[in-house]
Structures are given as structure tokens and as C-alpha cells.
């Protein structure tokens, strides 16, 4: 399953950014070959905006009604249409709607109100990615069977591992000098999230922090109002998160960067790519990291994608020989 990058959505109006020329609900349904007879004439004539759809089976659509104000107004409408059974399920998300389980005790939050970028169904859960700003979003989780609101998940979807776990990238503070990477796993059955990256005592992060520290310009940090914590540096995904669902393993390449600590740090400390691999064992997530010569030996002529998909146990075996 492919996920549209947040940067790509900013580049194309079709992602549903506010201001996208509205079309009617009828137009959208007909374009997706969805029967309109299950909707009232009033609904079909309404203009919709900032919407996302999934054109397979089931057909999914999340949208706001365009009231002409230029603002997004709740409710966020969601439909799920099973083409084979002719079954239509509907849900409207409103401010204060109660959710299900531990993550939803605060009810549906207004800070999840944003343009719908993507909508997916995986297992018994519908996930709606909404855009808040270039560094932040919210994933709204709904029950596929009842269309009930499950949880608001700050960040955006990266993939799935198994039928009941989603991999998410956490939000960042847009105007900070650095943008570190945070990866979380949402457990649908338990309706809770756990952060798996970064993790405590990561040797590769520690090494990079030690490289940055001697080159930090306190003058620059004060002028830029930057935190300049060498343990908290720019980290970005290189490519996609790679998942092997059968093995319960996923991995990604993370690029470390020393920008955000002054000119000297950015000049003297070269970016570094580190491979991370995770697997679940007894409800916990084991992890391994590889960089430089260790990563080259691990790959040994193959690609990181091929490694995760064809030989997912190798990183954990190789870790003993580090």
C-alpha cells in the first residue's frame, strides 16, 4: 500500500487542501461509479471540500461540506460503501464525540480538524489522514463495522504491520531549528500507541551527538533562539518504511543531519544514514541499528528493501557479531 507524502500533498491541490475548487457530492460519487440512490437530493447537491477518497472496494470518502466561508466546518462526513453487498455505512465526526478506549477519553479534538489527505481501511479500522500544517497532522481512527470514532492519533500514517497495528510518524514543531523523527505503533486492539523510535541508549544517535557537540555555536543558538541540544538533531526518513508482515518485522533508513546548530556544525559534521529494524517479541519491540561498515556488511550487495522482505531475521542474527 502506497502512502502520499506530506510534501507531495502540499504540492498538489488534489490532495484536498483548503481552497480546492469544490464539487458536489453527486459529482464525486459518480466519478467513482458509486450509486447515488442511497443519498438524498439535498446531500447530493451539497458542495464538498478538503476531501479524500479510496476508490477500491470498499469505497471510502471523507469530506467537509463547503459552506462558502473558506473555513473547514465540522462535521467531517465519512462513508464506507461495499460495492459487492451494496452496503452503505456512514459516520459524522463532531466536536466532543466520545471515542472508544484509552486514547479517546478526551473525545474528538478540534486540533484534528484539517483537510483530509488520505483514507484507508486496514483490518476493521478506517484511518483518515488530516493535514494541520507542513509539520503536523492527525490520523483519525474509526471502526469499519460501526463507523464509531476510535482515537485521534497525532502524526501521519507510514504503513501497517499485521491486521491490527499501524505505524505512524509523530508530529514536529514546525518553527524549531531541528526536526527529529518519532515513530509510533498504534495497537488497534488495545487502542493505545507506543513510541518505538527514538529509543533510549541508541549508540548511533549517541555517536552523532558527540560529533555535533564540539561545533555548537552558542552565539548562533542565542540569535536563532534554538534549543541546540546535541541529543536532539534533525532526522529524516530516507524512502519508505519497509514492512514484512509475515515476520512481524519493519525497518527504515534514517538520515542524521547537523544543521540547526550553527554554520560550523553543519559544515564539519557530515550527514549519516542509519538503518533501523524492529520486530515484536512478547508484546515488546526489539530493535537493531546499523551504520557505516556495519550496514555495508549487513546488506552485502543487496538492498535494504530486499533485506527486510526476504531475510528479516538477518539483522537480529548479525547483531551478535557487531
Residue 144 confidence (pLDDT)? 95
Residue 178 confidence (pLDDT)? 85
Residue 19 confidence (pLDDT)? 37
Residue 32 CB burial class (10 angstroms; 0-12, 13-18, ≥19): middle
Residue 102 confidence (pLDDT)? 44
Give the cell for residue 217: 555555536
Residue 135 confidence (pLDDT)? 76
Residue whose cell numbers read 558527540:
210
Residue 100 confidence (pLDDT)? 52
Residue 91 confidence (pLDDT)? 92
β-strand pairing of 272-281 with 284-291: antiparallel
Domain ranges of the chain: 6-197, 203-321
Q: Which helix (H) or strand (E) holds 82?
A: strand 76-82
Q: Is the pTM of this model over 0.85?
A: yes
List Cα–Cα distances, 120 to 56, 248, 287, in angstroms.
10, 21, 28
Please list the ranges in the chain whose pLDDT falls under 50: 7-20, 101-106
**C-beta separation of 171 from 130 below 8 A:** no
Amino acid at each position: 500500500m502506497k502512502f502520499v507524502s506530506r510534501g507531495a500533498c502540499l504540492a498538489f491541490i488534489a490532495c484536498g487542501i483548503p481552497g480546492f475548487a469544490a464539487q458536489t457530492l453527486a459529482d464525486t460519487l459518480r466519478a467513482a461509479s458509486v450509486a447515488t440512490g442511497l443519498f438524498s437530493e439535498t446531500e447530493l447537491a451539497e458542495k464538498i471540500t478538503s476531501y479524500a477518497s479510496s476508490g477500491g472496494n470498499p469505497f471510502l470518502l471523507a469530506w467537509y461540506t463547503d459552506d462558502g466561508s473558506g473555513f473547514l466546518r465540522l462535521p467531517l462526513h465519512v462513508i464506507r460503501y461495499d460495492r459487492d453487498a451494496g452496503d452503505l455505512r456512514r459516520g459524522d465526526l463532531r466536536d466532543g464525540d466520545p471515542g472508544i478506549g484509552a486514547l479517546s477519553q478526551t473525545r474528538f479534538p478540534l486540533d484534528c480538524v484539517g483537510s483530509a489527505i488520505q483514507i484507508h481501511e486496514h483490518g476493521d479500522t478506517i484511518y483518515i489522514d488530516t493535514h494541520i500544517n507542513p509539520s503536523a497532522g492527525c490520523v483519525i481512527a474509526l471502526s469499519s463495522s460501526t463507523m464509531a470514532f476510535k482515537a485521534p492519533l497525532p502524526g501521519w500514517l507510514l504503513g501497517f504491520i499485521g491486521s491490527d497495528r499501524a505505524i505512524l510518524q509523530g508530529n514536529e514543531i514546525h518553527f524549531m531549528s531541528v526536526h527529529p523523527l518519532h515513530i509510533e505503533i498504534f495497537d488497534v486492539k488495545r487502542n493505545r500507541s507506543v513510541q518505538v523510535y527514538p529509543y533510549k541508549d541508541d549508540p548511533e544517535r549517541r555517536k552523532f551527538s558527540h560529533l555535533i557537540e564540539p561545533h555548537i555555536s552558542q552565539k548562533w543558538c542565542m540569535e536563532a533562539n534554538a534549543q541546540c541540544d546535541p541529543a536532539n538533531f534533525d532526522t529524516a526518513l530516507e524512502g519508505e518504511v519497509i514492512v514484512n508482515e509475515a515476520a512481524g518485522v519493519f525497518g527504515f533508513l534514517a538520515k542524521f543531519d547537523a544543521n540547526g546548530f550553527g554554520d560550523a556544525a553543519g559544515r564539519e559534521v557530515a550527514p549519516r544514514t542509519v538503518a533501523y529494524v524492529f520486530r515484536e517479541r512478547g508484546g515488546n519491540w526489539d530493535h537493531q541499528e546499523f551504520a557505516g561498515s556495519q550496514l555495508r556488511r549487513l546488506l552485502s550487495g543487496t538492498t535494504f528493501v530486499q533485506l527486510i522482505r526476504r531475510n528479516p531475521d538477518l539483522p537480529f542474527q548479525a547483531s551478535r557479531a557487531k
